[in-house]
Structure 1
Amino acid sequence: MPRVLITGFEKFAGAQSNPTEEMLIGFSYSDAIVKTRVLPVTYASAFSELQAEIKEFSPEFILLCGLAEHREQISIEKIGINYINSQIADNAGEQPLDVKISDGGADGHFSTFETSTLVSYLQQCQIDSKLSLSAGSYLCNFVLYKTLEMLKGSSVKVTFVHFPKLSRHASIKTYQQVLSHLLDYIVQQPSLSEQQIQSTAKSFAAID
């Protein structure tokens, strides 16, 4: 069975909760080996904790999830860009503005999922979803860019999924159903070859 890491974020900006944290509580899926992790909303720790989780778990697929309060649809992110411009401070009080994530790094890294196909699949499942060309310039984009940069050249598939705020049309149960549909899509993907498995193992071993 495929190994899938799903992440969410803790609450931030004075909010009482974050649906991407709540939807991971008690979530289960029987046709994949799934591990979940809630990341801190801090530039200092979010990626370092994710990096350690990736090295320990060795996933084949990574679904990074976050909250986009002003969006009305599930958004599958196409690209992470090498840029931070924090409109609010993180939970440690840090607020970097107009800076690069990685000096000398690529301007952007594309998601390694077939994002358009994934969106089409969700739409066929009656999930209101769209392809997004901007993951923002805050922590969501930060962890997407850093993860894609770290795993560049490996066979690990990575994307970011933005969830709207909860409403009478969108509950935690609804979002857990979305996760299940995402995993249904993943388990339909071809298994890794032995060469890809060895290449992936080398990628994880190189993480420091």
Structure 2
Amino acid sequence: MANPVERCVLVTGFDPFGGADVNPSWQAVQALHGQSILGHRIVGAQLPTVFVQSLQVLRDLLRRHRPTLVIATGQAAGRAAVSLERIAINVNDARIADNLGARPIDTPVIPGGPDGYFTKLPIKAMLKALLERGINGEVSQTAGTFVCNQVFYGLMHELASEPALRDTRGGLIHVPWLPEQGQPSMRLDELVDGLKVCIEVALTTERDIRKEAGAIS
């Protein structure tokens, strides 16, 4: 049996895309890489903002590290909060081209796969913890149809279909721009703290909380 100290949490971010010089998801993941949270080593990895290739890199990471928990992160311009994504859908429908110029329209992420997958993260408990720490958070009902959603769907498909990963939890979190990118935004230290909170909750919460009327959305 593996030593608990050797267990790991895989956290991924994307490289810059769309002409940007920075991607806050990768900046936050870099800051977390190598840290230890609740006896789990944080492995930070960058995914290319490229359809198809991003899933190949993700699959390699899953097989190499066999993580207890996987949190994929991505940038969501226009959002002001740490966005906890609820569902991944089996559709690629790119508004802009990826970093290799591909722009799939109305294609499946996984041909023949289910229409969608729900996150395995305790998103309501994570939201409650974020708000209690004074970090702006929200539950999001759409991860879009760009590479972030493709990775989210591909991750959930791997967790559902690969026996060696059946006990692994995973999902996607979108983060806002950094202040230097424009508004709305969130400071890098807030993003890092928010992801730490989410990791802690995911590692310690077996079953998600139910929404209390008027309490959280």
Matched, 1:41 2:57: no
1:93 aligns with 2:73: no
Q: State, as a whole percentage, how many aligned pairs show the same letter.
A: 25
Structure 1 residues 117, 189: CA separation in 2 closer, same or farther (over 3 Å shift)?
closer
- Output the CA distance in 1 between the equivalents of 2:55 and 2:74: 14
Structure 2 unaligned spans of 5+: 207-217
Amino acid at match of 2:105: L
Q: TM-score by structure 1 length?
A: 0.86
The whole-number CA distance in structure 2 between the counterparts of 1:34 and 1:156 is 15
Amino acid at match of 1:34: I
**How many Å separate the matches in 2 of 1:183 and 1:96?**
32
**Contact 2:122–2:205 at 8 Å: present in 1 too?**
no
Indicate if the aligned counterparts of 2:13 and 2:26 stay in contact, CA closer than 8 A.
yes
The Cα offsets for residues 155-182 of structure 1, whole Å up to 9 and x where unpaired, read as 2111100001112862222211112212
Deviates more, 1:119-128 or 1:51-60: 119-128
1:23 aligned counterpart, secondary structure: helix
Measured against aligned partners, the alpha-carbon deviations of 1:4-39 in whole angstroms (never above 9, x if no partner) come to 100000000100111111122242235321101010
Q: 2 CA distance for matches of 1:29 and 1:58?
A: 16
For the 8 Å contact 1:59–1:156, the answer to whether it is kept is yes
Q: Does residue 156 in structure 1 map to residue 172 in structure 2? A: no
TM-score, length-normalised on structure 2?
Answer: 0.82
Q: CA RMSD in A?
A: 1.6
Name the residue aligned to 2:210. Answer: none
For residue 83 of structure 1, give the secondary structure of its aligned residue in structure 2: coil
Deviates more, 1:172-181 or 1:127-136: 172-181
Superposed displacement of residue 126, structure 1: 1.5
Q: Determine if contact 1:61/1:157 at 8 Å carries over to the other structure.
A: yes
Q: Does 1:18 align with 2:30?
A: no
Runs (4 or more) in structure 1 with deviation over 6 Å come to none
Which residue of the other structure, out of 118, 140, 148, is the alignment partner of 1:140?
A: 148
Task: Name 2:89's counterpart in structure 1.
Answer: 81
Please, which of 194, 200, 212 is the counterpart of residue 178 of structure 1? 194
**1:108-149, CA deviations, whole angstroms, 9 ceiling, x for partnerless residues?**
001011222221221122211111110000000000001101
* Separation (CA, whole Å) in 2 of partners of 1:99 and 1:49: 20
Q: Secondary structure at the match of 2:70?
A: strand
In 2, Cα distance between equivalents of 1:72 and 1:24:
19
Q: Which letter maps to 2:81?
A: Q
| Structure 1, unpaired ranges of 5+ | 191-208
2:13 is aligned to: 8
2:178 corresponds, among 161, 166, 183, to 166
The whole-number CA distance in structure 2 between the counterparts of 1:175 and 1:72 is 11
